[in-house]
Chains A and B, each alone.
Chain A
Amino acid sequence: MIEAIPQLLVNALALGSTYALAALGFVLVINAVGAVNFAHGELVMLGGFVAVGLAATLPETAVLPGLIVLPGVMLALAAVGLVLALIGYAPLRRAPPVSVFISTIAIGLIIQHAVTAGIGPEPRVGPPLIGTGSVELFGAVIARQQLATIAVAGLLLVAVHALLKHTRFGRRLRAAAQDPVMARAIGIPVVLTTAASFAMAGALAGAAGLMLSNQYFVAPTDGAVLMLKAYVATVIGGWGRVWGAALGAFAIAAFETVVAASVSYLVAEVLLYVGVLALLMLRPRGLFGEAEGRRA
């Protein structure tokens, strides 16, 4: 098993970075509107299918097919995120959060069934980011797709961090998420920051969907499991903590990869949810504590 460790590590990192993208978008919306977007998994799934569709328009000989379609997938899903905000959230913004749960569950189901009705229930394979094949690294054979996934997802995570931390728009987005009333009171256009959060969530979900669709395929019913992974990552990371959710995603991926490799994928899934229940009992505020404390 020792010789497989670099391979497992790369697998966990690649899976974790795609889960992290999905979880990041999920938590951005939670912070922006204080409600859970239960259609988030369907956005990831839709990203996979948009990637499949766009890649089909490329010539057979195209190198880097996934990379070429990535911007298009992200743009398309950003638009879907905006539409979701417009019909799933905006009419209910003064209603209790549970209304948004229900409207997004409904939209998720509509997306899932529309995809099934439109192109059938069969899993499809998405384009590889930089083509197929493998390289030898530290004595292990590692798929190029894995390395490219880690690199691209890592870049996107760094870009989101830079946007939130170092641009005025990102700071205003955080301010509006932390206290929308006071954000309005200092003139921040909260409607715009909310729309931007949904668009970013869509774009990141799209990127995650594209990267997952090559190695794990994509089927119309994938949304629920992906949504659950993002939810669990957010719970592990501490509800509402942006980078906690990303770390939670890496933790899930590491756990899945190791248990699946040593026992089986099914056992990994079961143990994951058992572990989450245990975590919720032992550390209800998540593995990484709270985003910010309060002082008396």
Chain B
Amino acid sequence: MTPRLVLDGVSVARSDTVVVEPLSLSMDAGEVVALLGANGAGKSSLIEAVAGHLPIVAGTLRLDGRDVTAGSLQARARAGIAWCPEGRRLFPGLTVEETLDVAATGNRRVRAEAIERMFALFPALAAHRKTPAWQLSGGQQQMLAIARAVIAAPRVVLLDEPSLGLAPAVLDSVFDAVRRLAEDGAAVLLAEQNVARALAVAGRTLVLARGRVILEGPSERIAVDPTLPGALLGV
């Protein structure tokens, strides 16, 4: 079976400085892979490069076997790579319903059904259909940001720090959603600071430090690895 997403020696630069050294990773459909590491380790840079927001300066990126390395942010979105960035970056003046409608694909009926699916995924949003995004609580904004990214049923979902600043009750629904997205067949790449939650939801984990993978393996093994605390600090 062709892997869903393949990074083959991918290296990433941010304003001409290499921030991710050549990195290889293969993900199957339905798999959740966690990216852990200290601030500045390269997690967000890797996510943004796969999304198409930062340039891949070496290596290739393949989606279902197709080389998409040269594709723009918009082209990768259309090919099925969804990106939910750190800090959510919602459209502040659009309501919940408008936000989901602009992100959905298909005719009016298909889009309306997709919006209802998102309300089933995040019932807390359903009561706020007509609320502008900027008026939502932090947890509701995070749910909307994830829903906006995944409403078009993507093949790959990139989540950058979705747990940042959220209350424990909200975390449950966010990580439940991550699990359900994978069950529905998406490959989910999750950059997280919340180590316990990330290890619990991801089958595999990569720990980055200064742009390199320093620890990698099945999450249950990483969870008990004695070098993990040091690796998370980048030492």
Q: Could you tell me which A residues sit within 8 Å of B by CB distance?
A: 168, 171-172, 174-175, 178-179, 181-190, 291-295
Contact = CB atoms under 8 A, between A and B. Distances in A.
A171 B101 contact: yes
A292 B93 contact: yes
Q: Could you tell me the dominant secondary structure of chain A's interface residues?
A: helix
7 contacts: A174-B91, A178-B91, A179-B91, A182-B90, A185-B74, A187-B103, A292-B132
B81 to A, nearest CB: 9
A178 B93 contact: yes
Contacts of A179: 89-91
A186 B102 contact: yes
Closest 10 CB pairs of A and B: A186-B103, A187-B77, A184-B74, A292-B92, A178-B91, A184-B73, A292-B134, A175-B91, A292-B93, A175-B102
Contacts of A182: 85, 89-91
Interface in B100-117: 101-103, 105
A172 B85 contact: no
Nearest to B135: A295
B89 to A, nearest CB: 5
A164 B118 CA distance: 24
B194 interface: no
A184 B85 CA distance: 13
A171 B102 contact: yes
Interface string B34-65: 00000000000000000111000000000000
Interface of B: 51-53, 72-74, 77-78, 82-83, 85, 89-94, 98-99, 101-103, 105, 132, 134-138, 148-149, 152
Contact of A185 (B73, B99, B137): B73
A246 to B, nearest CB: 16
B148 A186 contact: yes
Nearest to B98: A171
Contact of B73 (A172, A178, A181): A181
Given A185-B51, A292-B134, A295-B134, A178 B72 contact: no
A188 B102 contact: yes
A294 B89 contact: no
Contacts of B105: 187
Contact of B102 (A168, A291, A294): A168
A178 B98 CA distance: 13
B75 to A, nearest CB: 9
A184 B77 contact: yes
